């Protein structure tokens, strides 16, 4: 694939290259939203990068670094996105988790608005819109519809093999980059959710100094070796998906952006707001484990299954208000990003 220089990429056509401060601010906005998305089940970080208008630039940055092209703009973008996402996760994990567990409908209503706000951003990137854009949108929307209809039917865990963990890493990497795709759902789908969590728990237990024997180095090594294929899959998946997306955006921009639009709009299918956690039933499968009377008290609330409920008129009105609030927020973010882009390009409007 031909190298993308500083004046030819689709990103630069939108940003004019950009100053370091403007690039960092836009990427940081996307990073904060991405961090928040990672705290909410069913919401994709890629969706929030689209909402913030930095998705194209992020994909190019990942592709650059993974092909050993260390350009200033790419490094600034990745550091700003990763740093802002990390700060958002560390500082807001508790409040957001509590909101999702106890008032899921409020969080989902807000993210429906945020997600829908990304649609004008994608459409602007695709201007002038052609037939291939709509064809790609249909395909992307169909993929999300199938995922929504299949639900969480595949919660059973598969044998914890190296191949399973490697594939899980690839799936997780795709979810990090593709808008609308939930990483947790993909891991459940391939049966890797419980085995990976189990391996992580074993690693945490092994490195905990609180036990009678202190840190269990042998168990640390075994757990690390077991998780190594996940890390390899994530690294290769991020590099592969990012480079594939950049290639597709370069050569089939309309169809690719259309598919991203379909994934974006389809993401709201899994965000029906009026659902809440319920107490597990004896005998059902939760996170790959059959619930027993002895196990039931040990299951944390955030692992409880969710069930839909009939909302009151007040809840419906509040949900609509929250969605409109999220949509308004994305419009503001889009205008801020456009202003930053115009200033960094020497006053040239988007």
Burial 92-122 (b: 16+ CB within 10 A, else e): eeeebbebbbeebbbbbbbbbbbbbbbbebb
Averaged pLDDT of the chain: 78
Bigger pLDDT: 213 vs 222: 222
Phi-psi group of 282: left, alpha or beta (phi > 0 → left; psi -120 to 50 → alpha; rest → beta): beta
Helix (H) or strand (E) run with residue 277 in it: strand 275-277
As a whole number of Å, the CA-based R_g of the chain is 21
How many whole angstroms from its chain centre is CA 328? 21
Supply the pTM of this predicted model: 0.69
Are 143 and 265 in contact, with CB atoms under 8 Å apart?
no
Bigger pLDDT: 349 vs 176: 176
Q: How confident is the model at residue 153 (pLDDT cuts 50, 70, 90)?
A: very low
Please state, in angstroms and rounded to a whole number, the distance separating the CA atoms of residues 47 and 39. Answer: 13
Burial 301-317 (b: 16+ CB within 10 A, else e): eeebbbeeeeeeeebee
Bigger pLDDT: 198 vs 57: 57
Residue 157: the pLDDT is 56
Residue 350: the pLDDT is 38
Residue 188: the pLDDT is 64
- pLDDT tens digits along 32-57: 888 887 777 667 778 788 878 788 88
Please state, in angstroms and rounded to a whole number, the distance separating the CA atoms of residues 304 and 287. Answer: 9
ω before 274 within 30° of 0 (cis)? no
Are 272 and 308 in contact, with CB atoms under 8 Å apart?
yes
Bigger pLDDT: 111 vs 148: 111
% residues pLDDT > 90 (the chain): 12
Residue 75: the pLDDT is 92
- pLDDT tens digits along 290-347: 888 888 888 887 778 888 889 999 999 999 999 999 888 888 877 777 776 666 555 4
Cβ neighbour number for residue 277 with a 10 Å cutoff = 16
Please state, in angstroms and rounded to a whole number, the distance separating the CA atoms of residues 338 and 330. Answer: 12
Are 38 and 82 in contact, with CB atoms under 8 Å apart?
no
Please state, in angstroms and rounded to a whole number, the distance separating the CA atoms of residues 187 and 168. Answer: 6
Residue 318: the pLDDT is 94
Flag whether pLDDT at 14 surpasses 50.
no
Please name the residues in contact with 170: beta carbons below 8 A apart, sequence gap of 6 or more: 233, 234, 236, 237, 240
């Amino acid at each position: 694939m031909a190298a993308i220089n500083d004046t030819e990429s689709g990103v630069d056509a939108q940003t004019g290259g950009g100053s370091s401060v403007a690039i960092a601010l836009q990427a940081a906005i996307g990073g904060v939203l991405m961090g928040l998305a990672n705290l909410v089940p069913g919401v994709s970080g890629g969706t929030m990068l689209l909402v913030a208008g930095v998705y194209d630039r992020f994909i190019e940055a990942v592709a650059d670094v993974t092909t050993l092209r260390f350009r200033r703009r790419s490094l600034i973008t990745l550091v700003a996105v990763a740093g802002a996402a990390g700060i958002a996760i560390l500082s807001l994990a508790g409040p957001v988790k509590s909101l999702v567990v106890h008032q899921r409908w409020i969080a989902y209503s807000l993210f429906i608005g945020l997600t829908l706000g990304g649609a004008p951003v994608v459409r602007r990137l695709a201007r002038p819109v052609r037939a291939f854009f709509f064809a790609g949108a249909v395909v992307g929307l169909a993929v999300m519809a199938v995922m929504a209809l299949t639900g969480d039917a595949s919660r059973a865990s598969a044998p914890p093999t190296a191949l399973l963990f490697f594939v899980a890493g690839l799936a997780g990497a795709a979810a990090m980059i593709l808008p609308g795709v939930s990483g947790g759902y993909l891991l459940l789908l391939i049966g890797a959710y419980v085995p990976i969590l189990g391996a992580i728990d074993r690693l945490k237990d092994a490195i905990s100094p609180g036990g009678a024997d202190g840190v269990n180095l042998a168990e640390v090594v075994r757990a690390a070796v077991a998780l190594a294929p996940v890390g390899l899959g994530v690294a290769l998946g991020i590099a592969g998906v990012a480079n594939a997306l950049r290639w597709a955006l370069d050569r089939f921009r309309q169809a690719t952006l259309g598919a991203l639009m379909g994934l974006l709009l389809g993401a709201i299918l899994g965000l029906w707001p009026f659902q809440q956690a319920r107490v597990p039933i004896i005998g059902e499968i939760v996170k790959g484990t059959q619930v027993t009377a002895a196990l039931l008290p040990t299951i944390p609330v955030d692992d409880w299954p969710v069930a839909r409920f009939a909302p009151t008129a007040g809840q419906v009105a509040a949900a609509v208000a929250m969605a409109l609030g999220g949509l308004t927020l994305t419009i503001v973010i889009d205008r801020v990003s456009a202003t930053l882009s115009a200033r960094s390009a020497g006053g040239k409007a988007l």
